[in-house]
Structure 1
Amino acid sequence: MAQASIGDSEFDRGTAVTLREPGVYDVQLTSGWTVMDVLNGGHLLAVIGRALGDALPHSDPIAVSAHYLTPAKPGPAVVRTETVRTGRTLSTGQASLFQTDEDGHEVERIRVLSSYGDLAALPDDVRTSAKPPAFPPPERCVTTADGPPPPGDFALIDRLALRMDPATVGWALGAPSGKGEIRAWFEFADGRDADALSLLLTVDALPPTSFDLGLMGWTPTVELTAHIRCRPAPGPLRVAITTRNLAGGFLEEDAEVWDSADRLVAQSRQLARVPRG
Structure 2
Amino acid sequence: MAQASIGDSEFDRETAVTPGAPGVYDTQLFPGWTVMNIVNGGYLLAVMGRALGDALPHSDPFAVSAHYLTPSVPGPAVVRTEAVRTGRTLSTGQASLFQTGEDGSEVERIRFLASYGDLDALPDDIRTAAKPPEMPPLERCVSTSEGPLPDGDFTIIDRLSMWLDPATVGWAVGEPSGRGEMRAWFGLADGREPDPLSLLFTVDALPPTSFDLGLRGWTPTVELTAHIRCRPAPGPLRVAITTRNLAGGFLEEDAEVWDSADRLVAQSRQLARAPRA
Indicate the TM-score class for this superposition, using the shorter chain for normalisation.
over 0.9
Q: What's the secondary structure of 2:197's corresponding residue?
A: coil
Pairwise CA distance, 1:147: 2.8
Give 1:146's aligned residue.
Answer: 146
Pairwise CA distance, 1:160: 0.4
Q: Does 1:193 align with 2:190?
A: no
Q: What's the secondary structure of 2:49's corresponding residue?
A: helix
Q: Distance in 1 between matches of 2:234 and 2:147?
A: 28
Q: Does 1:86 align with 2:86?
A: yes
Amino acid at match of 1:92: T
Give 1:28's aligned residue.
Answer: 28
Q: Distance in 1 between matches of 2:149 and 2:257?
A: 24
The answer (yes or no) to whether the contact 2:254–2:268 under 8 Å persists in 1 is yes
Q: Distance in 2 between matches of 1:111 and 1:162?
A: 29
The answer (yes or no) to whether the contact 2:159–2:189 under 8 Å persists in 1 is yes
Give 2:70's aligned residue.
Answer: 70
Q: What does 1:1-40 align with in structure 2 at a 5 Å threshold?
A: 2-40=2-40
Give 1:212's aligned residue.
Answer: 212
Give 1:227's aligned residue.
Answer: 227
Q: What's the secondary structure of 2:196's corresponding residue?
A: coil
User: Deviating runs (4+, > 6 A) in structure 1?
Assistant: none
Amino acid at match of 2:206: L
Give 1:129's aligned residue.
Answer: 129
Unaligned runs of 5+ in 1: none
Pairwise CA distance, 1:3: 2.0
Give 2:275's aligned residue.
Answer: 275
Pairwise CA distance, 1:149: 1.6
Amino acid at match of 1:75: G
Unaligned runs of 5+ in 2: none
Q: What's the secondary structure of 2:82's corresponding residue?
A: strand
Give 1:103's aligned residue.
Answer: 103
Per-residue CA distance 1:175-224 (angstroms, 9 max, x = gap): 00000000000011000000000000000000000000000000000000
Give 1:236's aligned residue.
Answer: 236
Q: Distance in 1 between matches of 2:96 and 2:32?
A: 22
Q: Distance in 2 between matches of 1:130 and 1:44?
A: 28
Pairwise CA distance, 1:148: 3.9
Q: Does 1:171 align with 2:176?
A: no
Q: Distance in 2 between matches of 1:2 and 1:238?
A: 21
Percent sequence identity is 82
Per-residue CA distance 1:55-97 (angstroms, 9 max, x = gap): 0000000000000000000000000000000000000000000
The answer (yes or no) to whether the contact 2:145–2:158 under 8 Å persists in 1 is no
Instruction: Give the TM-score taking structure 1 as reference length.
Output: 0.99
Q: Distance in 1 between matches of 2:171 and 2:163?
A: 15
Q: What's the secondary structure of 2:52's corresponding residue?
A: helix
Amino acid at match of 1:147: G
Q: Distance in 2 between matches of 1:192 and 1:112?
A: 25
Amino acid at match of 2:173: L
Pairwise CA distance, 1:143: 0.5
Amino acid at match of 1:212: D
Amino acid at match of 1:254: D
Instruction: Give the TM-score taking structure 2 as reference length.
Output: 0.99
Q: Distance in 2 between matches of 1:116 and 1:200?
A: 13
Query: For this pair of structures, how many residues does the alignment match?
Result: 277
